[in-house]
Structure 1
Amino acid sequence: MATAQALFQQQLSDKLPASAFIEDYPRRYAFGTDASFYRLVPQLIVLVADQQQAQQVISAAATYKVAITFRAAGTSLSGQAITDSVLVLLSDCWSGYQIEDNGAAIRLEPAIIGARVNAVLAPFGRKIGPDPASINSCKIAGMAANNSSGMCCGVAQNSYHTVKDMTLIFADGTVLDTRSEQSRSEFLRSHQPFINDITALAQQVTNNPELAQRIAHKYRLKNTTGYGLNALIDYTDPIEIIKHLMIGSEGTLGFIADITYHTVIDHAHKSSAFIIFDDISQVCELVKQLATLDVAAVELLDKRSLLCVAQHDIMPKDVHNYPADSAALLIELRAEDAIKLVNLQQQVDQLVAHFSAHQLAIMAFSTNAKRNASLWNIRKGTFPAVGAVRENGTTVIIEDVAFELDVLAQGIKALHQLFDKYSYDEAIIFGHALAGNLHFVFTQAFDTPAQVARYEHFMRDVSQLVAVELNGSLKAEHGTGRNMAPFVATEWGTDGFAVMQRIKQLFDTDHILNPGVIINTDENCHIQHLKTIPSSDDIIDKCIECGFCETVCPSKGLTLTPRQRITLWRRRTELVNQLSNTRDISEKQHINRQLSSIEKDFQYLGIDSCAATGLCGMKCPVGINTGEFIKSLRAKKQRNAKLAPHIASFAVKHFAVLANTARFGLTSMAMVRNIIGAQALRSLTKPANKLIGTPLYYSAWPRGEQPINHSIVHAQQTDKVVYLPSCASRVFAVDEQADDRRSIMQVMHSLATKAGIELLLPMQINELCCGMPFASKGLPEQAKSKAEQLLDIAQQMSENGRYPIIFDASPCALTSNEAAQQRGLTVLESAEFAYQYLLPKLTITAQPEPVMLHVTCSSKRRGSEQQLVAVAKACSNEVIIPADIECCGFAGDKGFNLPELNANALKTLRNQIPQNCSSGISNSRSCEIGLTQHSGISYQSVLYLLDKVSQVK
């Protein structure tokens, strides 16, 4: 007899594509993880790409009584986005938006990233109200479902207070679009008993003065504990009550298929100050007074937090000597114009002056964006600082509570006492002081009963302190989840919790929507299904599984993200440990099945499809470059292969031969294409690509480049640079559809001549390589050998660093930079060279035609992104940087051998190109091949465009 889940899946199989169902164990385990410290493995994962598919999934779940949990980005911290039943993931393609009222409102599909929303609103001087720390990673559906707020949001600008409309899908599959009068009317008519019950419940709360007063008090604070009971006293219209109950309901009452926000002003004029005081009580008194002014943000950091970030250059050097009760305030002011900002700053300065006797250090108000970014990096560095130094095997837990400002200092001191009581010596407190909202971070292992008991007793003491003794909020902005579900009644009392139970019953009679979250009668649910984090590799052991890395990963949506790679590798380690520690035959068989499944699939899911660009390390709070971990696994495989070291050594010694062979092969392929056609050639190469991973032909494949012409003679110039054309530039000819068919060396020569710069080109250039192709394949020794050979010659030609060394490809510059600096050499990539050396010496007439710009991973990692953008904007009046494309996924030769990675990374590119745009620019030849293939326009080095629009000054 078929199970309910099997019948559920069977019903959906006719409506959703086969790729929408994920059933294999490795991906179920990897995709099932979120940022919390809980672990459940879904039995099935379903990907949904639009409202119709979401409705079909919910209707099938209702029919067969199958529990489903919706997941947006999985950055939630309290266990509200995991399940051991069916996990429903939102496809990234469900990320549309519609700007309304000249930016005063914006309608959003559920999978759009929060930071992307603010980017499209920026030209209107607007933004959405919620500003969580995870805004660069989290999705709108999750932000609304958790009622996320943030540093400047406070209470007034959270989702509850800025929501305008929604499209909702209820547990019975019914859709309500609150913007549509027809939809509202039909819903009121078809769900009359439900509407009557909601109205009666609101009246019941209103008729309970004690409860109504408690609700009013709780929501003057930040509060995400339980359901938003304030909806029952703030509104009388049942549709408005329903809409506002959905905010913060964590997917337990229905699904938000789209949401329209009222936007808020994004003030352009900002000023920040950072002040450290000797007494936290005085700090909290100052916060109370700052709350009477129009201050945008006040972030509090206790002494322990300051010690965590004491290594920042901008921090005072004597933090360790400060009193134990010292604390800092980071204050930010915002205004619509400079005059109002100055006036506000004077008011705050006068207020702060009253506390001057308690000041230990002060960095006064300034509008200097670079300095202020450094101040905010101090604040943002507190959480990852704890994660980076925690013991292996522990997880980082971040809780958030809120107090009235009158008892803020009392709350901080009481939390410090609890840290001492339970030996959380590393615990720190920081938070959004204007809202009385404190985050406390500590590390915790769950591998022994004693450790679990310590956590349980600590959390019960915290709930008693916050909710009962100080009448605060147990969850200010992170949502209830599983972690705080046992304590909802503690905060709200018997009558308040009963109202919440009734809400759940009315919306989700069969309890199919995210069961166990918010409403959970198991008083121990917060200490069940705890995530264990075994030590598995030094490179990745500090990962806190937050998911901040995922937005920049080119394999997201194809295979695994960095977080998922780490999660699955940790599971492999865990299974290996379990296998060696169990004697039960059936248990060994079960473990072996899971282990063999992971080891079989991880090669493609985890290793082969990783671009290893390192962008994840830039987004990671603790600085983990998962690409380096994957390259270490490749290196282990190469060491175990019999022929690989010999082949690599041959390549190192005879690099020019390989380059010539590659050029010959590309030119031969072009000749075959001309004879049999591109489609036939692709068909011929497809079987071998599938079987052994050889290159798959496609239309953007270039011909082989002509050998370098050393006969180009340069007039002697005072300014000289050493020019090292990259392997890709030497092997790949320019795109055949490009208007300018010259080689990159010819273009570089033209620009240098205009600017009066002499290019110094090594005679041995065909033998040289920065080593990156070897490193990416797990051949570090060969990579080092080639890198040293290149730098030896560059050092000689640059006269020991007298002249800069120029690469025409940004990946080569990134690869060579550290070793070059150790030798006293200056390495520049093409955009940096153009910005620093060419622009000042050329007369440029920007073209009116728009141009697409791809900023490479290596430019971002080098910190040269802004110089590339500046060169592009000097050359064209309209420069378009496509959204949501952080990496092209070409990754050296993977664009040939694993073209699906490149296609996945650039799947949104073509639709972002305006009709009047016919060209694209970047600064890496290999990246430009993939960009050309997936855009339909020719991409070339930014130097081509610069040469086109420039003249001798």
Structure 2
Amino acid sequence: MASAKQTVAASAFIEFSQAVAKILPKDNVIERYLQRFAYGTDASFYRLVPKVVLQLDSDIQVRQVIKLANKYQVAITFRAAGTSLSGQAISDSVLIILSSLWQGIKILDQGEKISLQPGVIGAHANKALQVYARKIGPDPASINSCKIGGIAANNSSGMCCGVKDNSYHTLADIDLIFADGSQLNTADSQSRETFLQQNKSFTTRLMKIVDYVNADHALVTKIKHKYRLKNTTGYGLNALVDYSDVIDIISHLIIGSEGTLAFINNITFHTIEVLPHKSAGLFIFDNMDIACNLVLSLAQERVDAVEIMDARALNSVHGQLASIVNIDKPLNAESVALLIEISADTVEQLQVNEQQLLLHIKIVEKSIQAQKAFTIDKDEIEALWKIRKGMFPAVGSVRPKGTTVIIEDIALPLARLAEGVNDLQQLFKQFGYDEAIIFGHALAGNLHFVFTQTFASDKEISRYRDFMAKVTKMVAIDYQGSLKAEHGTGRNMAPFVEMEWGGDLYQVMKQIKTLFDPKGILNPGVIINDDSEAHLRHLKTMMATDDIIDTCIECGFCEPVCPSKDFTLTPRQRIALWRQKALLSQQISHANDSEKIALTAQLRALEKDYQFFAIDSCAATGLCGQQCPVGIDTGMFIKSLREKKNTGSKVKTFSAKVIADNFSAVSSIARLGLNTVATINHIAGNKFTKKSFKAVSTLSNNAIPLWFQAWPAGAKVIAEGEFNGQNHLLSAPVASNIETQVATPVATTKAANKVVYIPSCANRIFGCDEQAPDKRSLVAVVLSLCKKANITVIIPKGSGELCCGMPWQSKGLAQISQDKRQQFLAKVVTASEQGKWPVITDASPCALTLNQGEDSDNSATRLVIFEATEFIAKYVVDKLQINKSDECFMLHNSCSSEKMDQGRYLKQLAQLCSDNIVEPENISCCGFAGDKGFYLPELNKSALAPLKAQIPPGCQRGLSNSRTCEIGLTEHSGISYQSILYLLDQCSD
């Protein structure tokens, strides 16, 4: 039976919800269980499911919601990217997320400062600063995913940041919204004055706390001592002794407060200079004492970063490491590596710095087991850092199934680093954490240790409890270190804040919390928590469910590149929900009758919604796998689910096979249909056509696509044969017999004078864009470019029947996809005279699909299919005279190009043609996903939502290398997108 307190709370929540419904659009109030669970997922090992999720679009809405929460005493938690590791971004009450409208960036003082909204991803801020050779100070390993709001709220630091360049020390100004809805923008003198006038009681009480602390020499000494190290345990009490102005004190207290004191509406940082010359090296030593003593010496020199990694950490990434450092066997148990990076204004100064460091290293050179000497090669430096940054998820990827990976984050006095590591390793041994690894930021004495843990039994929970008791005492008492150096207190370390800071300063923290948030509505349970076992509550269960995804640790690194992230779900959320389905099924099997009813209803709702939110709306492009530190391709997982579903549908499989077996005829019908629609639209108008197709699509249960304005007419039929230039047929069509011959490696050289060209089905079906200035077919453009380079083009007879297989692959029809791929390869083996001539296709998704088949890793039988931009860049452009255009062009790097070569050749051709190329921010995949853009245009629209606002005035053309992508891009940009080859042909002689 509910208590009176619970009844009052439930009543207050209902009133709050009713009030919120009056001020927010319906779509911004998220109550569906699937979505609430999804947004309740962060990178920590805790799990809470919010009662409701509110998506807010503006600071006005933030103030309104905070005021309502304060009025009804309803707890609210602000969530940024959810990459936090200590449980500070989850809630079982109201979770607040920010929409995509919070990504404002303003460069100030020629890059000396940068003003950022909280939704900006850290790496995007740095990209905006690149032209000024500057960056923000914090550089967490998750910078490609985490957002500014979280970076500031957690006072994140990172690899090179140390203490001096974190958010606290680089803060210039901040715009805050407090628990009562009042606002303070420290950059605005009027706002400061108004705040001081209207909050005299607040500021007076705060200054009393400041005076109390500063009057006690022991407290001041302790605070200063604690912040010589990295420290994010508790509130930033250094603000009380570093500043005397009340506004400065308030603004710096907010840094690292984890959303428990105020909402960060905007923040301005002083930026850090990025020196132009950089080098890095990796050195592996015999033992920890040698490495740590070397760190003490290096700390006296000009060095940006020294990362330390123990033997287990190195062995967890042995495969990657062996490709860079000459290691042919696992390292011994005592080995330790240091990754060292330095930078300088000049090459000469860089070399001087290197030599100075090498003098220190030379002293212990007999202890060096292996090394990658200092290198200035950017790719090699990036590879070294990728190894370091991937260690946390790498351990997660090899953990026993069903266990959780835990990362702790401490700082020790640098002089006692080796001693502390040895003590930690003894604790690992004592408690049986044999897989635990240690790595971290050695210059700051900042260690991360990672281990795996199951919470499936009371015995295992007790093991974790006892281990944490020992660790916290060792760090906080024995070493006078920091229990949380840079990951924030969260729920994880809240029970131990008083242990680290002592009773007096813990009471000061409680007074600060009460002063800023008297009703306790802002992220309760985080930082200040009287429950001594809060770190053992709400533990996340990581069910083993599928080999493709079981290694996922739910870090969220994949999310920024997902085209459905603002539409339905992200890869991390798809995985977390799949695990939850398995967990609910398990719980139902062990539940009593009354529990079964509720759990079963929850499972049924989840299963029903999962089909659309997770499976149907996934673009399945696999970009997430490139971002994932352990390569988890959630798109592949979704395709496997589609395949399982289709296996049981004989009708769907049969109809798909009929289309595949009669593809040329189907393509002809599609062209005819497109031309018919274009004629009807020309006569009846856009409104009629769109409305008619919507009705027909609904009646057909979405079997017939939705029409939109960028739909092209049908393409003209392509001539087949041997060409030496545009529309100049040299010989009869190539024989159509299909032989299953094995291809030898393609002998492509600059002197190649023939190429086999298979126009993609998209360019055989869809005509050019009606807005485009050049209305030739892409085939004509390719022929024109090859003619200029004196290259004969072979379009084999029967090419109209060919397809790479991707349309069936993406729908989970693997066998049909493979059959079409093999049909394609057999045709081009014959046409290329068993690999004598290069083979190209004119769509990046086709080239990727053809080169990724099961036999693609066998170099003896591999036939490379060039995507047209790669072939043109390698074998044609050096034979052209290119005159750059003065026009501005938008450039879209398709996800398939990104996966093949990071868009290298597409970008290369664009830069050859114009110096005014714009690559929009926050768009990784257009979301058209083959033909999905025709049937689910909302995905395409959501993925391209940031595009239109980034098109410069006067820019009228866009460039890409995938016809279907170009259709969606044209629709949602308002300008014409075409293949980059059109521009190249226009600019070249």
What TM-score do the two structures reach when normalised by structure 1?
0.98
- Secondary structure in 1 matching 2:97: strand
Q: CA deviation at 1:160?
A: 0.2
Q: 1:78 aligns with which of 86, 97, 116?
A: 86
Aligned to 2:829: 795
The match for 1:477 is 486
Residue 676 of structure 1 corresponds to which residue in structure 2? Answer: 684
Residue aligning to 1:19: 27
Preserved contact between residue 278 and residue 322 of structure 1 (Cα < 8 Å): no
Q: 1:319 to 1:68 in 2, by over 3 A?
A: farther
TM-fit CA distance, 1:456: 1.1
Q: Is 1:306–1:319's contact at 8 Å kept on the other side of the alignment?
A: no
- 1:818 paired to 2:862: no
- Name which of 648, 658, 677 aligns with 2:656: 648
Matches within 5 A, 1:402-801: 402-582=411-591, 584-690=592-698, 692-693=701-702, 694-710=704-720, 713-714=723-724, 719-801=753-835
| C-alpha displacement of 1:585 | 2.1
Residue 702 of structure 1 contacts residue 733 of structure 1 at CA under 8 Å; is this kept in 2? yes
8 Å CA contact retained: 2:758, 2:796: yes
CA distance in 2, matches of 1:763, 1:322: 58
C-alpha distance in structure 2 between counterparts of 1:834 and 1:285, whole Å:
54
Q: Are residues 918 and 929 of structure 1, via their aligned partners in 2, closer, same or farther at CA, if it must alter by over 3 Å?
A: same
* CA distance in structure 2 between the partners assigned to 1:661 and 1:337 by the alignment: 64
**Amino acid across the alignment from 1:615:** L
Task: Report the equivalent of 2:338.
Answer: 329
Match of 1:385 in 2: 394
Paired with 1:110 and 1:713, the residues of 2 have a C-alpha distance of: 56
Distance 1:221 1:928 in 2: 52
Alpha-carbon shift at residue 26 of structure 1 (Å): 1.1
Instruction: Report which stretch shifted further, 297-306 or 5-14.
Output: 5-14
Which residue of the partner structure matches residue 888 of structure 2?
A: 850
Is the 1:92–1:112 contact (alpha carbons within 8 Å) kept by the matching residues of 2? no
Q: 2 CA distance for matches of 1:568 and 1:718?
A: 52
Whole-angstrom distance in 2 between the partners of 1:731 and 1:517: 57
Per-residue Cα deviation, 1:246-285 (whole angstroms, up to 9, x for no partner): 0000000010000010111011210111111112111111
**Is the CA contact (8 Å cut-off) linking 2:722 and 2:793 kept in structure 1?**
no
Greater mean alpha carbon deviation, residues 922-931 or residues 446-455: 446-455
1:5–1:66 CA contact under 8 A, matched in 2: yes
Q: How big is the shift at 1:414?
A: 0.8
C-alpha distance in structure 2 between counterparts of 1:31 and 1:48, whole Å: 14
Give the equivalent residue in structure 2 for 1:804. 838
Alignment of 1:205-244 (within 5 A): 205-244=213-252
Return the alpha-carbon distance in structure 1 between the equivalents of residues 584 and 380 of structure 2.
48
Structure 2: distance between partners of 1:311 and 1:407 = 32
Q: Give the SS at the match of 1:465.
A: helix
Contact 2:405 2:450 in 1 (8 A): yes
Farther-moved stretch of structure 1 (348-357 vs 471-480)? 348-357
Which amino acid letter does the alignment assign opposite residue 62 of structure 2? A
Q: Does 1:180 align with 2:188?
A: yes
Q: Please, which moves more after superposition, 590-599 or 318-327?
A: 318-327
Deviation readout 1:2-55 (Å, 9 max, x if unpaired) = 821221122222221111100111111111111110010000110011111111
1:154 aligns with 2:162: yes
From 340, 343, 350, the counterpart of 1:341: 350
2:741 — aligned with what? none
**Any unmatched runs of 5+ in structure 2?**
1-7, 725-729, 732-750
Q: Are the counterparts in 2 of residues 223 and 477 from structure 1 also a CA contact under 8 Å?
A: yes
Tell me how far apart the structure 2 counterparts of residues 572 and 62 of structure 1 sit (CA, whole Å): 35
How many angstroms does 1:440 deviate by? 0.8
Query: How many Å separate the matches in 2 of 1:461 and 1:640?
Result: 54
The CA deviation string for residues 406-435 of structure 1, in whole angstroms up to 9 with x for no partner, is 000011111111111111111111111111
Q: Is 1:898–2:907 an aligned residue pair?
A: no
Q: 1:885 aligns with which of 918, 923, 926?
A: 923
1:399 to 394, 401, 408: 408
Q: Deviation per CA, 1:607-638, whole angstroms, max 9, x where unpaired?
A: 11100000011111221111111111111111
Q: 1:721 to 1:244 in 2, by over 3 A?
A: same
Letter paired with 2:823? Q
Residue in 2 that maps onto 1:909:
947
CA deviation vs aligned residue, 1:720-747 (integer Å, no higher than 9, x gap): 2221111101000000110111111110
Name the amino acid aligned to 2:963: R
CA contact (8 A) 2:723 2:792 kept: no
* 8 A Cα contact 1:550 1:561, kept in partner: yes
Distance 1:338 1:244 in 2: 38
Deviation at 1:320, TM superposition (A): 4.5
Kept in 2, the 8 Å contact 1:800–1:824? The answer is: no
Whole-angstrom CA distance in 2 between matches of 1:119 and 1:759: 41
SS in 2 for 1:390: coil
- Residues 464-483 of structure 1: CA distance to partner in whole angstroms, max 9, x if unpaired? 11111111111000000000
Change (3 A) 1:595 1:323: closer
Q: Aligned partner of 2:813: which letter?
A: L
* CA distance, structure 2, for counterparts of residue 814 and residue 711 of structure 1: 25
What CA distance in whole angstroms lies between the structure 2 residues aligned with 1:319 and 1:503? Answer: 56
Work out the CA distance in 2 between the residues paired with 1:786 and 1:794.
13
SS of 2:119's partner is: coil
Q: Is the 8 A contact 2:155 2:486 kept in 1?
A: yes
- Please state whether the residue corresponding to 1:554 is helix, strand or coil: coil
**2:897–2:903 Cα contact (<8 Å) kept:** yes
For residues 442 and 877 of structure 1, what CA distance do their matches in structure 2 show? 50
1:113 matched to 2:147? The reply is no
Q: What is the identity, as a one-letter code, of the residue corresponding to 1:394?
A: T
Contact kept in structure 1, 2:233 and 2:488, CA below 8 Å = yes
Aligned-residue offset at 1:453: 1.1
Paired amino acid for 2:826: D
Q: Report how far residue 316 of structure 1 moved.
A: 4.2
Contact persistence 2:721–2:796 (CA under 8 A): no
Counterpart of 2:442 in structure 1: which amino acid?
A
Structure 1 residue aligned with 2:742: none
Aligned partner of 2:903 in structure 1 is 865
Contact 1:404 1:472 in 2 (8 A): yes
Q: Which amino acid aligns with 1:529?
A: H
After superposing the two structures, state which structure 1 stretch, 13-22 or 155-164, moved more: 13-22
Equivalent residue in structure 1 for 2:273, among 262, 265, 269: 265
Give the equivalent residue in structure 1 for 2:3: none
Asked whether the 8 Å contact 2:721–2:795 carries over to 1, the reply is: no
Partner-residue secondary structure (3-state), 1:324? coil
| SS in structure 2 of the partner of residue 98 of structure 1 | strand
Q: Matched residues, percent identical?
A: 52
Q: Distance in 2 between matches of 1:101 and 1:92?
A: 26
Q: CA offset at residue 713 of structure 1? A: 3.2
Equivalent-residue separation in structure 1 for 2:752 and 2:981 (angstroms): 22
Higher mean displacement: 335-344 or 427-436? 335-344
Alignment-mate amino acid for residue 809 of structure 1: A
For residue 160 of structure 2, give the secondary structure of its aligned residue in structure 1: coil
1: distance between equivalents of 2:852 and 2:794? 22
Q: Output the CA distance in 1 between the equivalents of 2:871 and 2:981.
A: 10
Provide TM-score, normalisation by structure 2.
Answer: 0.95
